Amino acid sequence: MVSATKQVPEPPEGTPDGGVQETDVQETGVQAVAATPGRDAGARQGSGTAARPALVFRVSLWVRRARIVGVRVARLVRTGVDLLLPGVRYLLHSLRRRWRRSLQFRTVLTTLMLAVTSFAVVGAYLSSQIANNLFQERLTQAESETRYSVKQVQDTFDGAQVTDQSSVITLVYDTLNAVEGRGSVVQRRYVFEAMPEQTKPRNRWVESRASDQLTISVIPTDLRKAVQESGKAQFWAPTEFAVGTEDRPGIAVGNKVTFNGTVYELYLIYDLNTAQTTLDEIQGVLLAGAAVLVLMIGAVAWYVTRNVVSPVSHAALVSEKLAAGQLQERMVVKGEDEVARLGASFNHMAASLQEQITQLATLSQMQQRFVSDVSHELRTPLTTVRMAAEVLYDAREDFDPINKRSAELLYNQVERFQSLLADLLEISRFDAGAATLDAEPTDIVQLVAHVIEGVGPVAVEYGSVVTLNAPVDGIVVDMDDRRIDRILRNLILNALEHGEGRPVNVSVAANETAVAVAVRDHGIGMAPADAARVFDRFWRADPARARTTGGSGLGLSIAAEDTKLHDGWLQAWGERANGSNFRLTLPLRQGESIGRSPLQLEPVDVTFPGSGRDRTMLLLEHAQAPQDQSAAGLPRGAAQPVNAHAATPFPPATGTKDGS
């Protein structure tokens, strides 16, 4: 043996050991010891060191390939999920929509679910009862046969006259084979085991014996403990044992037997595979029968609900057409049952409604035509009467007091009559559908300020202060400024007339989709029930109120119609002795919907949020008769913008925007 530290001379080519030269080894990259027998241990160690990097490289290569395959599989799974998920969502959405919209689908599906639940409960109960009965039958039979077989074994052992070990083994084997009961209805297997830790001297010639390669491990521990601790009592327990490649259910029945002074445990195992097969067949029959019954119940439910739901669906369709104005639609009536009577009653109701609606429509058209015709016919004579009234009114100073008063009353009532006629003509245009909207981008804050300035004399007459709270930058809205001007003028004049000389507050605000104008007075107010009817034509909260107050009774109705043309809201709030609040809400752009109003309908204590350049206020009040007002060239009670920080009313003076 050559030491690993010495160089071993390479034999020349052709030497008997068949070695190769060192240069060949370096070129081929193979250790010399791999080709030459008899190399030392150091050379073999060098070979293992060179092979280790190659193994590590191969392992890392396979790990990398496994990662690539895993990434590709994950991508395929993700692609499959992305493709299937929309389909699953669409299916669930379709089912939910069908459930909500189809009474027949909901009824049939509910019936099927209840049927499946009922069959599952009944099937589980029947299967449990059948299994228990089969098991009890096999258990009773197993206990009876075990008693008889154990008695035979004990009698055989007690009468045995054997002295040598071979005779004992043969006797035990033959006896247990007889107990096994081959060919009987209930096949049995046995496990014969000597009890451990016996204190009496014995000849343990037979330690254990079992059939079909069974072992004592197939016997449950609790059963063994019960048999070992008892006398001659018999015990049983369920178990499983292997037969070939399958596990079969069984019953293990245990007893004690003695032979030649040795106590043994004898367990007979009964195969329940035939009972399990019978139970499986019964469960299969129950499952197939339940499936057939569920399908039959579903078909019956579909047929019955179809006969009941179809007339209801037809009635719903006819009702929708009637609601859309197709008053000639009727239900198809077949038979004489309840559904037929329902259809006949429905058709009778539709005919009655058609007749009444036709009569009402005709009457409404006649009324509208009458109002329109009368309004147009009255314009010419009213113009003549007004001209005559103006002549008399201008010459009233030359009349005696009675005629002078008559001329003034005639002039005022003709003015009132002309205003009423103008309102009637406007209402007739709305009724005829001739009203059109001429919307243009307009600053609603400037429009409100213009309206407030226009009602200045009226505010002075009633002694009310009008304030405006609005953004300084203004709010541009797509609107018909003529109609909005009429709405706002009507609301502010109405607030001044019923404000009892108290302040009137006008607020303007906007959000992302809408702009709102609120007119708040602190006068007599109105009840909540009155607020719901305040936009009706010719309606008055106090029918006994003198006609000298209030307009024609059509102003708020016209304002509501103008608001509808803008797709807006006009709402009212009121409370007795606490004033009222009217809110006009318009969309910022035509065609857009209003999400919510920027101002609340039920007002709180009037405050002016924001400060500086965030707001502006226009205040109108009657003058306190200053000495220099006439000299300044201002009419008495003229409207002037004042500083928003004013806490108390003061005489009008030149003012600026808040924050300027």
pLDDT in tens, 329-351: 888 888 888 878 888 888 888 88
Give CA–CA dist 584/427, Å, rounded.
20
Query: Would you state the structure tokens that stand for residue 579, as one six-digit string?
Result: 């004033």
Percent of the chain with pLDDT over 70: 78
The confidence score (pLDDT) of residue 613 equals 38
The confidence score (pLDDT) of residue 476 equals 93
| 202 pLDDT tier (thresholds 50, 70, 90) | low
- Residues 509-523 have a mean pLDDT of 92
Closest by alpha carbon to 442, among 491, 472, 480, 473? 480
Question: For 583, phi and psi rounded to 5 degrees?
Answer: -120, 125
Closest by alpha carbon to 5, among 44, 48, 41, 35? 41
The confidence score (pLDDT) of residue 204 equals 61
The confidence score (pLDDT) of residue 22 equals 39
Q: Is the pLDDT of residue 122 over 50?
A: yes
Beta strand 504-510 pairing with 466-470: parallel
How many C-beta atoms surround the C-beta of residue 175 within 10 A? 23
The confidence score (pLDDT) of residue 41 equals 46
Q: Is the pLDDT of residue 284 over 80?
A: yes
Residue with the larger pLDDT of the pair 646 and 199: 199
Give CA–CA dist 532/542, Å, rounded.
15
- List, in sequence order, every beta strand (DSSP E) within 563-628: 569-574, 580-587, 616-620
Query: Would you state the structure tokens that stand for residue 486, as one six-digit string?
Result: 């009429």
Give CA–CA dist 530/525, Å, rounded.
10
Report the chain's mean pLDDT, rounded to a whole number.
Answer: 77
- Domains of the chain with bracketed CATH: 160-278 (3.30.450.20), 436-587 (3.30.565.10)
Q: Is the pLDDT of residue 29 over 90?
A: no
Burial class (CB in 10 A: 0-12, 13-18, 19+), 169: middle
Residue with the larger pLDDT of the pair 44 and 441: 441
Give CA–CA dist 391/524, Å, rounded.
39
Give CA–CA dist 343/335, Å, rounded.
10
The confidence score (pLDDT) of residue 44 equals 47
Residue with the larger pLDDT of the pair 148 and 364: 148
Q: Dihedral sign for Cα 555, 558, 560, 563, please.
A: negative
Residue with the larger pLDDT of the pair 350 and 49: 350
pLDDT in tens, 423-474: 777 777 766 666 778 889 999 999 999 999 999 889 999 999 999 999 988 8
Give CA–CA dist 493/506, Å, rounded.
12
- List, in sequence order, every beta strand (DSSP E) within 284-348: none
Percent of the chain with pLDDT over 90: 18
Give CA–CA dist 592/595, Å, rounded.
9
Give CA–CA dist 85/147, Å, rounded.
64
Query: Would you state the structure tokens that stand for residue 124, as one six-digit string?
Result: 């589980």
